[in-house]
Structure 1
Amino acid sequence: MQNKTNIQVILDAVRKIGDAFLKEYKQNPIPQSMDELLKQLDDIDDKCLTSLKKDLSLEFPDTPWHIGDEFDTDSQRSPARQDEYWLCDAMDGAIQYLQHIAGWTINLVLVRQGKPALSVIYDPLAGEMFWAIDGEGAFMNSKLLKLSQKTDLSVMLAVFDYGHQDKSDNQLNEKIGSTVTKLLHNFGIVRNYGPHGLQLAYVGAGRIDLFVQEDIDTYNWIAGLLIAKEAGADLLTTTGEPWKWGSESLLVASKRTIEKYLEIKSTI
């Protein structure tokens, strides 16, 4: 990110590939086998990365690229060693895309010194571009984002999510179940809505009041985390500690909503 004029270059590159996918949305048959599914997922990755690399190569000729593999738990525990690099989740919600369901986005993050410096989440179906620059605010298209101002849990929307790692021998399913139960008992509306990054951006936009996840999912979170933070949200773990790269859980909301949630969580 050499200067502010490059922000538009980045937004244009993300919008271009997102709109290209939109033109093909629902045009291909829904995959009926694992081989078909994996082939179409690989095709999405290849198409997305080829387009982004081409469009950003002139402005960022020396910036390397990393693919955020959410199935690789160990790689999510720390950032890459480069001072600056692109971290790309080619399509967050690719399964929804292939199933002809809404809820898929193009996510791109510029990581600098181990922290997101700029992030973009583009929802082509809604025509909404969420983006943020560290220390400079968060936006949807050109509108400055603001958190929800609700104080009554009965009208709040809480969302929960989960990652792809093996949960068979670490009691994660039980922990997730307990979390969902507490949400259902205390929040007026509880949902799970597919793409993690977009849900976090929705926290920043005031559309979602609280996001909680009990397992590590750094690559799926990272684009949305900067957007939520720059809109004013607190980023913590579910035990109330400050979130950092590699944390095993995530809790995102306004400060007062988090305080209420942690009080609820501490009750038996």
Structure 2
Amino acid sequence: MLLASDTAAIHAAIRAAGDLFLPNFRRLPVPQTMPDLQARLADIEARCLAALQGALAEAFPNTPWLAADEFALSADATALPAEYWLCDAMDGAIQYVQQLPGWTINLVLMRQAEPIFAAIYDPLAQELFWAQAGAGAFVNEAPLHPSTKREPGGMVAVFEHTHGLDQDMMLRQRVSQGLENLLGNYGVVRNYGPHGLQLAYIGAGRLDVFLQVGRDLENWLPGLLIAREAGAEVLTAAGQPWHWAADSLLVTAPGLGSAFVSYGYDSQ
């Protein structure tokens, strides 16, 4: 359990990092070439990471930092440090450069291969979603609770997919099958961009079902802890308990996961 002073330091750091980007939002031109886009994204990543590291250096002087791409390259969780920060910096950075809402600052503290503290900050809405393992989930200071809907026609489901669908036709077919099942069984199917924010919205009862087929662990972890601590159901797309090595993620309001699987999703 983190000290209250440590929690306050994390909250202040992630809010300050996100608010750095508010003054230029929709003031900079949308990049029109791939080199310009890549340069803008790299600048966002560097500025955000530097702000977070500088703000948390005093409270966590001995905790190393792993960028999302470094984490993704590690196939063995036991080979990673016992405790570390996992930072995607700005989740939804493409939305930011395209002058769209739906960009957040994501941060998760990992210990012994498990997330123990996560924070997702939406600067435009001034909403900070956060959770500590075993202590519940919150938006700002209000507790989070998933929806209690039971009629699929009134539910809002969201989906995500990994990169590389053009290179892996089997994965592409699995993604298509999952999306088809969502479209055929829920009243509204959407994608709202950042993984973490969508998962936090499951915890807040704003969304009812999240599905992603294909492994994307570094993007899942912050929102996964928040959704789980709020009381959401966390499974694989095949309806099995979610685990570190899973190559899919199904997060729903309580009791909805088994219903989705009964609609006929096939993970093979």
TM range (shorter): over 0.9
Aligned runs of 1:130-145 on 2, under 5 Å?
A: 130-145=129-144
The aligned amino acid for 1:172 is: L
Give 3-state SS (helix, strand or coil) of 2:23's partner.
helix
Q: Deviations over 1:143-181 (max 9, x none)?
A: 000010100001000111111235423411111111111
Q: Which residue of 1 aligns with 2:53?
A: 53
Give 3-state SS (helix, strand or coil) of 2:90's partner.
strand
The aligned amino acid for 1:108 is: L
Per mean C-alpha deviation after superposition, the further-off stretch among 97-106 and 254-263 is 254-263
Q: Which residue of 1 aligns with 2:100?
A: 101
The aligned amino acid for 2:139 is: M
Q: Which residue of 1 aligns with 2:9?
A: 9
Aligned runs of 1:59-138 on 2, under 5 Å?
A: 59-69=59-69, 74-75=73-74, 78=77, 81-138=80-137
Alpha carbons 1:78, 1:246 under 8 Å: kept = no
Stretches of structure 1 lacking an aligned partner (at least 5 in a row): none
What is the CA-CA distance between 1:243 and the residue it aligns to?
1.1
Alpha carbons 2:148, 2:254 under 8 Å: kept = no
Sequence identity (%): 47
Q: Which residue of 2 aligns with 1:236?
A: 235
Work out the number of aligned pairs and report it.
Answer: 266
What is the CA-CA distance between 1:10 and the residue it aligns to?
0.3
Structure 2 distance, partners of 1:103, 1:133, is 23
Structure 1 distance, partners of 2:7, 2:109, is 11
In the alignment, is residue 34 of structure 1 matched against residue 34 of structure 2?
Answer: yes
Q: Deviations over 1:115-147 (max 9, x none)?
A: 000000000011110000000000000000001
Alpha carbons 2:205, 2:253 under 8 Å: kept = no
TM-score (norm 2): 0.95
TM-score (norm 1): 0.95
Aligned runs of 1:172-251 on 2, under 5 Å?
A: 172-251=171-250
Give 3-state SS (helix, strand or coil) of 1:265's partner.
coil
The aligned amino acid for 2:256 is: T
Per mean C-alpha deviation after superposition, the further-off stretch among 122-131 and 170-179 is 170-179
Stretches of structure 2 lacking an aligned partner (at least 5 in a row): none
Structure 2 distance, partners of 1:79, 1:54, is 27
Structure 1 distance, partners of 2:36, 2:168, is 30
Q: Which residue of 2 aligns with 1:253?
A: 252
The aligned amino acid for 2:31 is: P
What is the CA-CA distance between 1:13 and the residue it aligns to?
0.3
Q: Which residue of 1 aligns with 2:152?
A: 153
The aligned amino acid for 1:250 is: L
Alpha carbons 1:77, 1:245 under 8 Å: kept = no
Alpha carbons 1:80, 1:114 under 8 Å: kept = no
**Is the alpha carbon distance of 1:195 and 1:148 closer, same or farther for their aligned partners in structure 2, counting shifts above 3 Å?**
same
Q: Deviations over 1:8-55 (max 9, x none)?
A: 110000000101111111121111111111111110111011111111
Moved over 4 A (4+): none
**Is the alpha carbon distance of 1:30 and 1:76 closer, same or farther for their aligned partners in structure 2, counting shifts above 3 Å?**
farther
Structure 1 distance, partners of 2:130, 2:233, is 17
Give 3-state SS (helix, strand or coil) of 1:165's partner.
coil
**Is the alpha carbon distance of 1:209 and 1:73 closer, same or farther for their aligned partners in structure 2, counting shifts above 3 Å?**
same
**Is the alpha carbon distance of 1:5 and 1:73 closer, same or farther for their aligned partners in structure 2, counting shifts above 3 Å?**
closer
**Is the alpha carbon distance of 1:88 and 1:146 closer, same or farther for their aligned partners in structure 2, counting shifts above 3 Å?**
same
What is the CA-CA distance between 1:84 and the residue it aligns to?
0.5
Q: Deviations over 1:208-261 (max 9, x none)?
A: 100001111111111000000000112111111111123100000133111211
**Is the alpha carbon distance of 1:83 and 1:18 closer, same or farther for their aligned partners in structure 2, counting shifts above 3 Å?**
same
